[in-house]
Amino acid sequence: MAYESIKDLPKTLRDTMPREALEIYLESYKAALDAYDEQEGGQAGPEAVAHRDAMHEVNREFVHDDETHKWRHRGEAAKQEEEHEGIIDRLKDMF
């Protein structure tokens, strides 16, 4: 399946990757499909090869955070999500 635009990419990618990473993925995916068509394929199908190559390109500039399941630029500090106190915790502090 050839993706024509970012909106065509799988929801799992669109929901976790920043726009720049999606653009890298899409461009690399298309290039890999074109290269696959020009060469003889291997055991893996064209989509699997294109996905592998696209993810390799994304991983050059971005890193996946296993805790938040979000992507961020390499070298950028991971954002710590604030823990929200529940109503019980706030009431304990009041008394």
Q: Check whether 88 has a pLDDT greater than 50.
A: yes
Q: How far is CA 93 from CA 9, 69, 82, 86, 90, in A?
A: 47, 33, 18, 11, 5
Q: What pLDDT sits at residue 93?
A: 62
The strand pairing partners of 72, in sequence order, are 63
* 42 CB-contact burial (10 Å; exposed 0-12 / middle 13-18 / buried 19+): exposed
Per-residue pLDDT averaged across 20-47, rounded? 85
Sign of CA dihedral 47, 49, 50, 54: positive
Which of 62, 6, 60, 2 lies closest to 31, judged by CA? Answer: 2
pTM: 0.73
Provide, rounded to the nearest whole percent, the portion of the chain with pLDDT above 90. Answer: 49
pLDDT score recorded for residue 68: 83
CATH class of 9-75: mainly alpha
Query: When comparing pLDDT for 34 and 57, which is higher?
Result: 57
Packed helices 19-38 and 46-61: angle between N→C axes, nearest 10 degrees: 140
pLDDT score recorded for residue 82: 44
